[in-house]
Structure 1
Amino acid sequence: MPMPSALRPLDWLTARPIAHRGLHDAKNGAIENTRSAFARAIAQNYAIECDLQMAGDGEAVVFHDETLDRLMEGKGRVCDHSAAELQAMAFKSGADRIQTLGELLDQVQGRVPLVIELKSLWDGNETLARRAVAVVSNYGGPCCLMSFDPGVIAEVRRLAPDLVRGIVADSFTHEDYDNLPEAERGRLRELAHLGQTEPDFISYYWRELPLPAVTRFREAGHPVICWTIRSAADIPAALRVSDQITFEGFLA
């Protein structure tokens, strides 16, 4: 299996646990992937994991789901609304509004690392990758871009080879991937694209580790982070197969 040739100093990525979608707490008004959740993570000195979707006008907005229905008063696909339209919508609870990537960077200002996942519709559209690279290119704080979609990360690599990039992966058996051929899902699961994407790190679902491809990657000196730890009792097992955890629902 081809391995990335260059090793970069990524101590900042593994120094502290990573708060999944920010340090969110819906019961207290801090909804995932919002300014409130990120402020709580900064206050606790946790790194922040967050998600980007593409708005209909090509802007990168901080939101996890492809559709608005679960969290927002609005409905439909995120990509069918402009950034201004999305920011005019209220969450079902809390006082936050959807942020753009630029607004997130202005909020964090390098105080903690940002681990930014680019969501993908698996349709070959590279607009979100291009916009994310453009926005973070002048950011002075520690940050990286990652995605489940190797095509997205290959584009990040082409556009900004010096920008830290990662691959997110799991078994790819979830119904979200039913549109992908089984052979492609196997390729993704086994990280057969590493020669194309050359990630600096891997973020893998912790319950499916160890995996030979991930173990070889880590033995070659590249960091592995894992997701998502939801109990302090699971931390020791997760850290036996990774270098840092992405967590939620407790203080790690």
Structure 2
Amino acid sequence: MPGLDWLTARPVAHRGLHDAAAGIVENTASAFSAAVAGGYAIECDLQLSADGEAMVFHDDRLGRLTGRDDAVKSLSATELKAIVFRATPDRMLTLGELCDLVAGRVTLVLELKSHFDRETALAARVAAVLESYAGPVAAMSFDPVMVRGLRSAASGLPRGLVAQSRIDPEVRTVSRWDYAAAALSARPHFLAWSVADLPGVWPLLGRWGFGLPLLTWTVRSEADRHRAARWADQMIFEGFRP
């Protein structure tokens, strides 16, 4: 896909510009507002609620950030929006509310979470919400089937494949051949690779062999910054201000 310079133009704040010591929790309106104020692009995570809404939250369960141990997918969007993050006034956002908050001022990079169960309802919902959004936005997932779902639901939306060398338990349930076939059929426009794996054959083949923009995550240290600057087009960072 031509014209993706905007995707790599600015460092990307991982889950927003969060700072727990300052009371700014990841994936909240406060973290996103701080990123906008700093002029950084925003990476965030999306999960599906029980009633099919795209919610901005990373974990499968609420416990780490809210004190409630419910699964995100077990509650409706209304119920999830009523839950307060620990020691903050922030509440969970829908994707639509995130879009209203950012309003095209910085780039959004949306990671769609998946259980590698071939379910792509989240991709369909994301595509529906973004139909009315005019700002710069891209979507990505570790699950190539989800990326393929994005291709089907919103072919014009820039889509990316997130990857790392270490294989998570969920991904181990997918055969290498099925993963490769799904990745090829998804036709990603960009890659987001673990900084710990750079330089590596596959991310560099994608970048230099196929011309795919390469984001790298999650950059936290000075060594990570040097590796990202040498081998990737842009970093997804946290814990400092570039």
TM-score for both structures, normalised by structure 1: 0.91
Q: Is the 8 A contact 2:19 2:239 kept in 1?
A: yes
- Matched with 2:199 is 210
Task: Give the direction of change, closer, same or farther, for the CA distance of 1:85–1:125 in structure 2 (3 Å limit).
Answer: same
Q: Could you tell me the percent identity over the aligned residues?
A: 47
Look up the match of 2:156: 162
Check if 1:243 corresponds to 2:233: yes
Separation in structure 2 between the aligned mates of residue 176 and residue 155 of structure 1, nearest angstrom: 18
Letter in 2 for 1:50: C
Match of 1:199 among 183, 188, 196: 188
**Structure 2 match to 1:228:** 218
Alignment of 1:82 onto 2:39:
no
Q: TM-score normalized by structure 2?
A: 0.94
Shift of 1:121: 1.6
Q: Is the 8 A contact 2:148 2:182 kept in 1?
A: no
- Backbone CA RMSD of aligned residues: 1.6
Q: Distance in 2 between matches of 1:233 and 1:208?
A: 13
Aligned ranges for residues 172-183 of structure 1 at < 5 Å?
A: 172-177=166-171, 180-181=173-174, 183=175
The residue type equivalent to 2:188 in the other structure is: P
* Aligned residue-pair number: 241
Query: 1: distance between equivalents of 2:33 and 2:223?
Result: 26
Distance in 2 of aligned mates of 1:66 and 1:235:
29
Q: Is the contact made by 1:74 and 1:90 (CA closer than 8 Å) also made in structure 2?
A: no
One-letter amino acid of the structure 2 residue matched with residue 241 of structure 1: W
How far did 1:238 drift?
Answer: 1.6
State the AA in 1 paired with 2:236. T
Tell me the equivalent position of 1:37: 31
Contact 2:195–2:224 at 8 Å: present in 1 too? no
Question: What do residues 96-133 of structure 1 show as CA deviations (whole Å, max 9, x unaligned)?
Answer: 00000000000000000000000012112211111000
- The yes-or-no answer on 1:98 pairing with 2:87 is no
The match for 2:47 is 53
What does 1:179-190 correspond to in 2, within 5 Å?
180-181=173-174, 183-184=175-176, 188=179
CA contact (8 A) 1:20 1:48 kept: yes
**Structure 2 counterpart of 1:52, which letter?**
L
CA distance in 1, matches of 2:22, 2:137: 28
* Structure 2 gap ranges (5+): none
Shift of 1:242: 0.7
* Deviation (angstroms), 1:233: 4.1
Gaps of 5+ in 1: 1-6
